[in-house]
Amino acid sequence: MTDLSNGAAWMGGTIIPVQDAAIPVTDWGLTHADTVYDVVPVWRRAFFRLDDYVDRFIASLTAGRYDIDMDRADICSALHQMVAASGLQDAYVAMVAARGRNPVQGSRDPRDCTNHFYAWCVPYVHIVKPDIAARGTSVWIAKSVRRIPTDSVDPKVKNYHWGDFTSGLFEAKDKGFETTLLLDHADHVTEGPGFNVFAVFGDRVVTSDHGVLHGITRRTVLEMCAEAGLQTETRLLPLSEFWRADEVFLSTSGGGVIPVARVDDRHFSNGTAGPVATALRAKYFDWIMRDMHRIPVQFETEDQT
């Protein structure tokens, strides 16, 4: 039996080890970063908010004019089959549409390309290690690069355009920070690589609605805040206002709510994880186990734990 414990991929209806998955070197998904994708977590043997993640993926397909010749049921079936075959109880699951190869020699017409779908899963990814998240992570605001303008690349369409994020990550890592946050060209807070950002002012929680992916975990946080009696605002968040926050935290499918202890040389919550963020982090791992948000994976063997 093929060992899929390190991850699996679904390619053209076949499930293979993730390390064996590949696309052609002439695929526009590779040569032009012409892809859209989404990532849904599996936690304790069940998908979390799968319908919401697939909804967003389908919206990205429509916005990007991708035709993968698969409907919602086909996509969900591929994800379920792949995760079940992998045996992963907690997983990071990606669904991807690539523009594909252009069979017309010399053509620069994207309509000539044959679009295709593939998926892959690996053991659950925490974008910040849990022990660091528990005490509060560090974030560097990139100085050499700004977020790609929304009229160039729509951030609500989840895509592989990571040139700006990668430059910011080099800055952050070189300075000893865990991750990076990007501003737009008007000094508004946007997002970071794989996460949305929240600022807490007393019982009021603010997150940007401009220049950002409208994350499913972001949506979950807003819903959790409402349940906890916190006020929420989704709007432009100027950096000058951000600096006055009582707390800062991140939201991501790779770890839920992540408290932030430090941004640049500014310490929040006395350099620790703040109480609001800490409470929301605990609440997230409660929500991710609520039946209303879960779709169990039907694993191929019943003796897995």
- CA-based nearest residue to 208, from 199, 87, 257, 299: 199
Model-level pTM? 0.94
What pLDDT sits at residue 106?
86
SS3 of 116, please?
Answer: strand
Pairing of β 14-17 and β 8-11: antiparallel
Delineate the domains of the chain, giving CATH numbers in brackets.
8-123 (3.30.470.10), 130-287 (3.20.10.10)
SS3 of 285, please?
Answer: helix
- Residues 181/140, Cβ–Cβ less than 8 Å: yes
What pLDDT sits at residue 301?
64
SS3 of 244, please?
Answer: coil
CA–CA dist 18, 88 (Å, integer): 13
Each residue's pLDDT tens digit, 40-52 = 999 999 999 999 9
Stretches in the chain below the pLDDT threshold 50: 302-305
CB count in 10 Å sphere of residue 139: 25
